[in-house]
A and B are shown apart, each in its own frame.
Chain A
């Protein structure tokens, strides 16, 4: 019995290899996943604002213009990488970018934003991850496009990188229609 166990390290190693080689072989485009929420109304929420503890009501935000909802966190390294692109998005006058600070320490987030700049019009605090749950967030970062009828038109999983930005921005413009 004990002797047969000696084959286990090899088996585990082979499984790990399989996973790694899969990633090298596939052409990885880590975005574009059809979400169950696409073309549905954005889930509403009520929470507090990061800076002043004021109540944020999703109903008041959505429904007037195109809203980009970006789930982010200070412990998420890809979030740091995509931050400059979120900033670039926020320069567009036709849209409003709101951030959902997911399972994070508010003090750290404030410091993080002081360091990198704050592109968000509003930052909703999602301390226990319940907003994330409603929106079907698996992991960070995730970014949603919600049109002026409060309908989610697109979901970007993973950081908005240089490569993805123009495609994403095109989706943003499509949502104006």
Chain B
């Protein structure tokens, strides 16, 4: 019953979306918002019900639904039955549509007395996007397809996807991607209406972009965290096409976010913002295309189907050609005649914008390069880590240097003496702390030096900025904590987060130590300053798997046990998958990471041990960036509420 109903309601939501599209053609806009209310809320409710009927089928294990049969099993824990809904292609597309309808509803909430033409146009574009995805799911990826007679049990769910981080990773990521759809629609509507309207389109857009960027950041980081502890490869980023598909909109989103702040303050860069808003969403959809059409090889195994590829590509083509043609003709209306000062906050933002676009272009090129090579030479190749590291890092270094200076510079014309003074102070601090860091922590390494310097450069600049801001507005007590926290705005917080993120990236990639060895019980080995003893191995039985679990006692220099690590080799009885569960001991300075490989009692087991310095700062950094983003979102929403 539930699946048939879900399928029926999905068609109903298509009708609501078409309705929403048509309403915008109405000439008389005086009460258009009332008509739109029916379509928008109808769409929201119908996609909501459709999504939850699929979820219900998963929860009650209704194996007459092909999607449930292929991805679930009665022994699967409840949490993963729920997350299993979006752990596959069809269900994740349905989630995508649900998120689109939620964002659509928020656009509808922008309606007020003065902007009805603008919002109605935006809703029309948004409706077009929703129709596109609804037709995609209904024609190529129906999640409610039935099999009769229903099988007794399901095929099971890929066990490495049974993980809490991965359960919430797709919803966050989709909020990111889909949030950019709103920026896209707003950009098109703005260009249609021309410059003369008094609508603060960039303020509307900023709210959606802040939300999208914040959730995309968190979603990508969770995926990365999962890869780190679940795949057992010792690293957290592999330049896989799927990772790049999230990174590219993120880079453009970062540029867009900062340019929007500039538009808000100085009214310049409007054309640039309109273009970035288009690109961010196009890249989100192109990423989906690359991953699901099967034209690139990826470790993310989505079911591949050429028909889907053709559909998504045609849809991207339609969106892209329409929006970029519009841009080609209308963009000139948004050129700002004002004087642009390069040595200023907006100057630094613009320079960094260019860096972000270049990085994005080189990631895009690296991801699709194998395709280009294939056209000209009929060869199929893989461009891996060496390419990305050697193209992305050199562009990121100047970008981060500029990023450090940004907060110190003021908008428009500078007080040069004051600025130079601040930059010199933070440069001095950065060098000083870098030297101290190298003296007490580790030996010399060129990349390590650059990484640590850049990380500190950002953090020191931020603190110097706060210090001078406090000094400026009160001469009383500079060190009072209230004054200090008053200046902690979203920019300051996020920049500190980025500084810590760079610290973590540097530590884990420059100073990673690896020890791969074959060990029998009671053997010992060392890594860094730790002595690791393989105490025992035993069989463990879990809810839907059994496992071999190794016990490794970790001794420090003073021969005191600091932890016992218990990596496992799991065999999932239903899907017959084997996975290795990493065991990690974390502190602020390093992660000890052990993976149990193949082996037996006579030969011993292959054990991989990593010492990954400073990894935790990656996750702390992202968490801080995320909180900065949430704070910015709160402020933006507050502004919108006050003005509507």
Contacts and interface: CB of A to CB of B under 8 A. Distances in A.
Interface stretch (A36-44, A57-65, A74-82, A83-91): A74-82
Given A9-B275, A24-B293, A24-B313, A19 B379 contact: no
Given A19-B375, A114-B606, A138 B381 contact: yes
Given A13-B324, A24-B310, A114-B608, A30 B375 contact: no
A77 B244 CA distance: 14
A125 interface: no
A108 B516 CA distance: 9
Interface stretch (B43-51, B147-155, B383-391): B383-391
Interface stretch (B258-266, B364-372, B439-447, B461-469): B364-372
Contact of B324 (A9, A76, A79, A108): A9
B295 A9 contact: no
B332 A6 contact: yes
A56 interface: no
A140 interface: yes
Contacts of B298: 77
A73 B384 contact: yes
Nearest to B295: A23
Given A6-B328, A9-B275, A110 B320 contact: no
A138 B377 contact: yes
B313 A138 contact: no
Contact of A20 (B289, B297, B328, B386): B289
B327 A6 contact: yes
A54 interface: no
Query: Which of B271, B375, B384 counts the most chain A CB atoms within 10 A?
Result: B384
Nearest to B382: A76
Contacts of A121: none
A19 B372 CA distance: 7
Contacts, number: 117
B373 A17 contact: no
Nearest to A7: B328
Contacts of B327: 6, 9-10
A140 B309 contact: no
Interface in A107-146: 107-108, 110-111, 114-115, 138-141
B514 A13 contact: no
B379 A158 contact: yes
B331 interface: yes
A103 B275 CA distance: 39
A79 B382 contact: yes
Contacts of B597: 114-115
B482 to A, nearest CB: 48
A3 B373 CA distance: 33
A158 B382 CA distance: 9
Contact of A13 (B295, B299, B321, B332): B321
B279 interface: yes
Contact of B516 (A9, A21, A23, A114): A114
A6 B380 CA distance: 34
A22 interface: yes
A79 B298 CA distance: 11
Nearest to A10: B324
Contact of B313 (A14, A20, A73, A139): A20
Interface in B298-343: 298-299, 306, 309-310, 313, 316-317, 320-321, 324-325, 327-329, 331-332, 335
Contacts of A170: none
Given A7-B328, A77-B298, A114-B516, A139 B381 contact: yes
A30 B373 CA distance: 11
A20 B598 contact: no
Dominant secondary structure at the A interface: helix
A79 B598 CA distance: 20
A19 B597 CA distance: 42
B373 A139 contact: yes
Contact of B321 (A14, A24, A75): A14
Query: Which of A13, A14, A19, A79 counts the most chain B CB atoms within 10 A?
Result: A13
B386 A24 contact: no
Contacts of A79: 382
Contacts of B381: 138-140, 158
Contact of B379 (A76, A107, A138): A138
A159 B271 CA distance: 45
B378 A10 contact: no
A139 B380 contact: yes
B371 A110 contact: no
Contacts of A172: none
Nearest to A2: B335
B380 A78 contact: yes
Contacts of B536: none
Contacts of A16: 368
A13 B313 CA distance: 12
Contacts of B293: 24
A139 B380 CA distance: 7
A139 B306 contact: no
A157 B380 contact: yes
B379 A33 contact: yes
B374 interface: yes
Contacts of A81: 297
B379 A139 contact: yes
A158 B372 CA distance: 14
A73 B331 CA distance: 46
Contacts of B317: 17, 21
B291 to A, nearest CB: 13
Contact of B328 (A10, A17, A19): A10
Interface of B: 240, 271, 275, 278-279, 282, 289, 293, 295, 297-299, 306, 309-310, 313, 316-317, 320-321, 324-325, 327-329, 331-332, 335, 368, 370-375, 377-386, 514, 516, 597-598, 606, 608
25 contacts: A6-B271, A6-B327, A6-B328, A6-B332, A9-B275, A9-B279, A9-B327, A9-B328, A13-B282, A13-B324, A17-B317, A19-B375, A23-B371, A23-B374, A24-B293, A30-B374, A73-B384, A75-B385, A77-B297, A77-B382, A78-B297, A115-B598, A139-B380, A139-B382, A157-B380
Given A139-B379, A158-B380, 18 more contacts: A3-B331, A6-B329, A10-B321, A13-B282, A13-B320, A13-B324, A17-B316, A17-B317, A20-B313, A24-B309, A24-B310, A75-B385, A76-B384, A77-B382, A80-B299, A81-B297, A111-B514, A140-B381
